[in-house]
């Protein structure tokens, strides 16, 4: 039992070190860097930056960035796979309830979207949130498809790792469910800290809601759908929603 718990802890640290735990550390350092250079309100955070001044190489870099970001997701799915039970079944990320999952996803997107915009606006007004530029990509034929793929990438990485995998592993390690939910939500908020305190709080609250929904119904699919829809809207219509 001790060996199993030790292996689970090691596995957890490796997964987080390769993915969103690493992002959280960088995010804290980036926040400190921005805050010590100038007021946060004068800073910017670009979510989809240009990778190359040459169109074809920018496209290649964008697709490589999306593809390699999904490798930790593949690792998590492999680690969660059980004899006779796929990782998708373990996570409730299957296509057997499409209508219900889509409706729940849309509902969660609407429920989370307005409060997130409100917290962003409040953070900007109080000077504790940077200006978020959801996309700096030039207008090419592939720009919108790449932004949609980027949104789906973020949804898969965050929901599969921070909700499905993390809650599974923390509870196997004996953490109380509410403590695991709190840890998951704090992690979600922390890797958004580079954007400022408004996005940190918004994503922390989103984490609490998403974890509650997942714990209540055991379905990850609606969370992925909701997150993807939120990011697709933000990435493709950022200025209309109040982003840079």
pLDDT value of residue 156: 98
**Per residue in 155-214, pLDDT tens?**
999 999 999 999 999 999 999 999 999 999 999 999 999 999 999 999 999 999 999 999
Q: Name the residue among 235, 208, 210 with its Cα closest to residue 222.
A: 210
Name the pLDDT band for 121 (thresholds 50, 70, 90).
very high
Distance of alpha carbon 4 from alpha carbon 169, whole angstroms:
11
Output the average pLDDT for the chain: 95
Name the pLDDT band for 240 (thresholds 50, 70, 90).
confident
Name the pLDDT band for 3 (thresholds 50, 70, 90).
low
Distance of alpha carbon 125 from alpha carbon 127, whole angstroms:
6
**Per residue in 140-156, pLDDT tens?**
999 999 999 999 999 99
Domain spans, the chain: 2-86+97-241
Name the pLDDT band for 2 (thresholds 50, 70, 90).
low
Q: Residue 129: phi, psi to the nearest 5?
A: -135, 135
Name the pLDDT band for 243 (thresholds 50, 70, 90).
confident
pTM of the entire predicted model? 0.95
pLDDT value of residue 177: 96
Q: Are 213 and 222 in contact (CB under 8 A)?
A: yes
């Amino acid at each position: 039992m001790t060996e199993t718990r030790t292996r689970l802890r090691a596995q957890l640290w490796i997964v987080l070190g390769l993915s969103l735990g690493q992002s959280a550390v960088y995010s804290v350092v980036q926040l400190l860097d921005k805050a010590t250079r100038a007021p946060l309100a004068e800073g910017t955070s670009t979510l989809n930056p240009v990778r190359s001044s040459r169109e074809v190489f920018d496209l290649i870099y964008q697709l490589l960035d999306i593809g390699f970001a999904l490798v930790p997701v593949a690792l998590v799915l492999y680690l969660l796979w059980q004899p006779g039970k796929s990782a998708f079944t373990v996570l409730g990320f299957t296509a057997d309830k499409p209508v219900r999952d889509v409706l729940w996803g849309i509902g969660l997107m609407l429920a989370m979207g307005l409060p997130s915009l409100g917290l962003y606006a409040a953070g900007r007004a109080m000077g504790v949130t940077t200006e978020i530029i959801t996309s700096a990509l030039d207008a090419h034929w592939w720009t919108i498809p790449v932004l949609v793929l980027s949104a789906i990438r973020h949804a898969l990485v965050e929901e599969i790792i921070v909700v499905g995998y993390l809650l599974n592993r923390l509870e196997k390690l004996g953490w109380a469910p509410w403590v695991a939910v709190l840890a998951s939500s704090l992690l979600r908020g922390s890797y958004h800290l580079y954007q400022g305190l408004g996005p940190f709080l918004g994503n922390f609250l989103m984490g609490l809601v998403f974890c509650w929904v997942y714990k209540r119904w055991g379905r990850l699919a609606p969370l992925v759908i909701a997150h993807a829809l939120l990011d697709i809207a933000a990435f493709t219509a950022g200025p209309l929603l109040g982003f840079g």
